[in-house]
Structure 1
Amino acid sequence: MKLPMSALIADQRRKYGPVLRVDLTGKTVILVGANTGLGFEACKYFASMKPARLIMACRSESKGNAALAKLAAETGYKTAELWLVDLASFKSVTAFADKWEADGGRLDILVLNAGLNHMKYEPAQDNWEASVFVNNVATPLLALRLLPSMNRTAERYSVRPRLVVVASDVHYWVSALDKRVVASKTGIIHTLADQKFLACSGGMSDRYFVTKLLNVFFVRSLADHLKSAKITAVAVNPGYCYSELRRSLPLHLRIADRLMEMALALPAAVGGQHIVWAALADDSIVKNGDYASVSEVREVSDYALSKDGVAAQARIWDELLDILKDADGSVAGIVQDNL
């Protein structure tokens, strides 16, 4: 599938119906990247469905507490929990997962919404480029670490938990991965995150697009390995919305983006609605490995479906598991027991 600008504009101008609602009584929702924007709006919708537990995960304690108070004031749901996690740190992700494993609670819906959109090199842990690390290394690590909890929930409560990774329609705009990246002997992920390569290749200009393609690859690979498990993994495009995600763009691009927002952007509440749809739509509609876009299931990009794209996806999956096994000693056993 391709995404011409006319199709994107049509999506932005569609009239969307009411948010999908289901009874979440007794269930647990974890949403990462919950204190602002689309994540917060999705939390408001989830809160209105009265889950037993709603865990708002974010990096900043002060912003998280402010979001809890705002959620309570706007929805009347006063039992949401704030859990801290910094996706720029392996240690923080591991600590979050260890805390959840010790908690031992059920996990019905996991929404991984945190992400970065950088157009200049910024380092994260161990000199990883920050947006690749957060979007494509730490996010999969958290997903894998929480899989055992989701599997236990499926078995104990006879339900099918849903794992939602927030991707984007911009993945359609990656016609192919850079040939130098694919040919690199150090691996696709490491090369994408290598400062020297980025300096000589101008590789940050399409960085966000590539990280969103890798989100789609991750969900599709995970689904392939979850075929025997009672978990549904889905990638979601929430649409082009007013968002703080683009706050780190250079000034001239922020100005251009502001003009585009005025012309086309959806309210954050609509983007949150699309995330909720991906999390709650019936299993007869949303299947394992699907790509949900603005509250319907769509085909992924032509490149993702191509021979080269499928080969790149398989390589990235293998590389990712090697990286995560080195970073977190729990991953190897989780892969063995859950995939």
Structure 2
Amino acid sequence: MVGSKDLEPSNAPFFPNVFFHNQFRAKPQPLPQTTNLSGRVVIITGGNTGLGFEASRQLLSFKLSHLILAVRSLSKGEAAASQLRAQHKGANIEVWQLDMSSYDSIRAFTRRVQEQLSRLDIVILNAGVRKHAFETVRSTGHEEAIQINYLSTAFLTILLLPILKSKSPAGVPGHLMIAGAALALAAKFPNQDADPLLPSFDNPKTFDPIDRYNTSKLLMHMFLWKLVDYVSADDVVVNVADPGFVKGTDLTREAKGGAKVGAVIFGAIAGRNKKDGASTYLDAVVNKGKESHGCFLMGWQIHP
């Protein structure tokens, strides 16, 4: 199989070449209408809004039996779950608390998964942030985008892998997808030579609101590159999928003034709709199989 590691690195400029192709030339690959997810159990982090909510809605439309929305705010999660339950009365839709800024919350969540679920087929790690100002997480001292998009997501992945391996049906690997971003390809990573590396992200002088998001997603590529040396596709298929630049999500909720107006205008001109954006998630965990293990998926295709 030819994976992301096997492909020659892309030397095309991100803007406009890669961005234009990804946003306007890539062909959506929705699940076949005959897809039947009955009996399967899926966890989606950040499933109460944006792409997470849309992916939840789409999965349920294919007769998904059991969906767990892993969210920081239980009240917002329950509000989202109520909408989904009204549309899909036969599905078991639960809301479980998960605060991605807290290691204790991540541990408690994975213990609950281990103890309360007899089956687990798919995990979609959608939760993430895009910070416009430097802030640290009080409990860890790490800059928030690096904490949530990289450190906590990697930690949660590592804890969930043995659970997916043991709770997926015999002979069928579980699937774990991490939400990525094509912008990882444009990361400048200015502190890449710092030693030690991780503490350098906690220095406000290294913070750039645009590149920090890009670099946090690049670090996840690096994590995946090494992870597949230890995890077999026969046990769990792990990939990173880029939903594209999608309009109408909460990712830019912290933007203010001209930046917020600019994001809205740019989204209206170039943004992908949420239906197509979320379909990249379903493609990664249902359409794609072992051939996508350790791969970066962009435009519904394996990308270097």
Taking structure 1 as the reference length, the TM-score comes to 0.80
Over 3 Å counting, the alpha-carbon distance change for 1:172 and 1:55 in structure 2 is same
Could you tell me which of 6, 17, 20 is aligned with 1:6? 17
For the residue of structure 1 that corresponds to 2:251, the secondary structure is coil
Could you tell me which of 138, 145, 156 is aligned with 2:152? 138
* Cross-structure match for 1:247: 253
Over 3 Å counting, the alpha-carbon distance change for 1:226 and 1:24 in structure 2 is same
Whether the 8 Å contact between 1:224 and 1:289 is mirrored in structure 2 is: no
In 2, Cα distance between equivalents of 1:183 and 1:202: 14
For the residue of structure 2 that corresponds to 1:256, the secondary structure is helix
How many angstroms does 1:252 deviate by? Answer: 2.2
In 2, Cα distance between equivalents of 1:202 and 1:61: 31
Could you tell me which of 107, 114, 130 is aligned with 1:117? 130
Cα RMSD (Å): 2.0
Following superposition of structure 1 onto structure 2, how do residues 267-282 of structure 1 map, counting pairs within 5 Å? 267-282=273-288
Whether the 8 Å contact between 2:172 and 2:234 is mirrored in structure 1 is: no
For the residue of structure 2 that corresponds to 1:132, the secondary structure is helix
In 1, Cα distance between equivalents of 2:109 and 2:154: 14
- Correspondence 1:207 to 2:212: yes
Count of aligned positions: 289
**Structure 2, unaligned runs of 5 or more:** 1-9
- Correspondence 1:190 to 2:196: no
Letter in 2 for 1:188: L
In 1, Cα distance between equivalents of 2:123 and 2:233: 19
In 2, Cα distance between equivalents of 1:137 and 1:251: 30
Letter in 1 for 2:40: K
Over 3 Å counting, the alpha-carbon distance change for 1:50 and 1:116 in structure 2 is same
How many angstroms does 1:18 deviate by? Answer: 6.1
* Cross-structure match for 1:152: 166
Q: Note the alpha carbon deviations across 1:101-140, whole angstroms, 9 max, x for none.
A: 1114221111100001002111212321111111111111
In 1, Cα distance between equivalents of 2:41 and 2:269: 37
In 2, Cα distance between equivalents of 1:120 and 1:129: 10
How many angstroms does 1:7 deviate by? Answer: 3.4
- Correspondence 1:224 to 2:233: no
- Correspondence 1:260 to 2:266: yes
Over 3 Å counting, the alpha-carbon distance change for 1:216 and 1:36 in structure 2 is same
Over 3 Å counting, the alpha-carbon distance change for 1:123 and 1:25 in structure 2 is same
How many angstroms does 1:298 deviate by? Answer: 1.2
More helix by share: 1
Following superposition of structure 1 onto structure 2, how do residues 154-173 of structure 1 map, counting pairs within 5 Å? 154=168, 156-173=169-186
For the residue of structure 1 that corresponds to 2:64, the secondary structure is coil
Letter in 2 for 1:237: D
How many angstroms does 1:269 deviate by? Answer: 1.5
Following superposition of structure 1 onto structure 2, how do residues 63-82 of structure 1 map, counting pairs within 5 Å? 63-82=76-95
Q: Which structure would you say has the larger RCO, counting Cα contacts within 8 Å and 6 or more residues apart?
A: 2
- % of aligned pairs identical? 25
In 1, Cα distance between equivalents of 2:114 and 2:150: 22
How many angstroms does 1:78 deviate by? Answer: 4.1
In 2, Cα distance between equivalents of 1:76 and 1:145: 31
* Cross-structure match for 1:292: 297
* Larger mean Cα displacement after TM superposition, 224-233 or 129-138: 224-233
For the residue of structure 2 that corresponds to 1:57, the secondary structure is strand
